[in-house]
Each structure stands twice: as structure tokens, then as C-alpha cells.
Amino acid sequence: MEKTFDITLIVNYLEKFKFDLHKLYSWNAKIDKLIDLGIFTKEKVLELNSLTPYEKEIELKKVVGGKLREYLETDKSSFEKLCLWIIKDWGGITSANDRETINLVYSFLNDEKKSFKRIASKSKVGAYLYPEQNVIYDSRVAYSINWIILKENAGEVFFPIPEGRNSKMSAFDLDVLIRLKNIHHFQPKSRIQTEERFFIKNADKKIFIKESEAYIELTTLIKRISDELWKGDDEKKRNLYYTEMLLFSIADREIFMDITNTVKFEMNI
């Protein structure tokens, strides 16, 4: 069942950042390997590397995404190599076994329900392949959307956050802030209840979306946000990566600053 969120509140929060997306986005992927994969010439790579990270990224979304769709139908080997480039070279996720990674990608594309296992990896391919239907579900995107929902009281449930490597986001664990704001779910009725094996896990079920439902719920939410956030701009409304890039970009700067300037901690002792 689709969860209820106040789209207006979320969009109002993002409005102040959307016109600066071209400046906020700073992910500057290494693309030299795309020469060997036959996607770009050396000259084109030099040209792309001279662009801003935002301009470069939009070009990659279009060209690599187009090639990925072509290879999916015509060239399995090239499709898999390009998938690995997206996950490892573009995405920076280098530790996993290649064959296992490719199997996870195929499962993601073929299964109606999306497993949460390594969702940050396989959703990268899904988002490149079908940008009107899929988003990248990574720690930064989930961190940003959870903070907005929490701060703006824009919903009563939150998204599980995949493991990430950002020190600022780790320092201010958003799951803890969410639980503190919903502390009534975690207050035991008796001392005996604290000894229940799954006490926290059962309480979490009341405020966190199931991992098995999280990807579909996030995609649905970002589609609704995009429709409102980019009114009058059909390309940005249609391609979900613009909203996803915005959420990604603000996570460890703007969201971090908002958390540290907003959260006040008091103890009744």
C-alpha cells in the first residue's frame, strides 16, 4: 500500500535549492574507461571533462543510458561491462564480485519487488536504464528525504538508509533522530518488555518502511515530488534523476547544516 506523504511540504523545502542544482552537484566521475568500452572517443572524453560536473553528468545520463538500452537488446557482454562501469567506475563501489553484481542487476530488472540487498549498486543501473521509472536509492538520497520528512512533519514513516561512507552523515545518525522524535514507540510498558528479543525491531516496524517495499515507495514518492517541483519543465519532470541528483547533492552539506542548526537536545534529569 502506498504510504502517505505531504508532497507540498517536501517540495517547499526543495524549492530553495532547485535552481542551484547545477552548482550544488559535484560528483565528478572518471570516464576514461568509456573509451575502451566504445562509448566515447578520446576527444569526446576531453570535452566532457572540461564541463562542470552537472553538465557532464547530464550528458552521461543521456548517452550511457541510451547505449545501455541498446546493449540490453543486442549485446549481453557489452551490457554487462557497461553495468560494471556504472557501479564501479561511476559509482565508486569496487569491492564486490563482478559476477555476483551482474546477477543482482538482472534480478533487479526482472523482479517486480526489489530486494534491498545492495540496492545502492543495482539501482544505479536501473536509473541509467530507465530514468523515467527508476531512481538511485543510496544513502545520501535516503538521508535527505528522511530529514525533510522528519523536519517538515511531511509523513509518519521513513525509509531504511543503506550503509554509506560519509563521515558527517554517520556522525548524525538519522535513524536515531527519527526514533527520538517518535520515542513513544520505544517506551516499554514494563521492565520485562525490555527483555523481549525483538523489542526495537518491532518498534521500528511502526515508523520505518519495510526493506522489501522501500524501493517502490521511494520511486513513487520521487515521481510525485518531481511532478510538483519541476512544473513547466517537462524534461526534469519526466527524468527522475534531476530530483534524485538534488537530494544527493544536499545531503552532506545543506542537510547536515540544517540538522546541526535545528536539532536541540534536552534531557529531563
| Residue-level pLDDT at 163 | 85
Collapsed DSSP state (helix, strand, coil) of residue 208 = strand
Segments of the chain with pLDDT less than 70 = 1-2, 269
| Residue-level pLDDT at 269 | 65
| Residue-level pLDDT at 265 | 77
Contact in structure between 220 and 203 (CB atoms under 8 Å): no
The H-assigned helical ranges of the chain are 7-18, 21-24, 33-36, 42-49, 53-74, 76-84, 98-110, 119-129, 139-152, 167-171, 174-181, 199-204, 211-229, 234-238, 241-250, 256-262
Query: pTM of this prediction?
Result: 0.94
Beta bridge partners of 5: 155
| Residue-level pLDDT at 7 | 98
CB atoms within 10 A of CB 71: 19
Widest pairwise Cα distance in the chain: 69
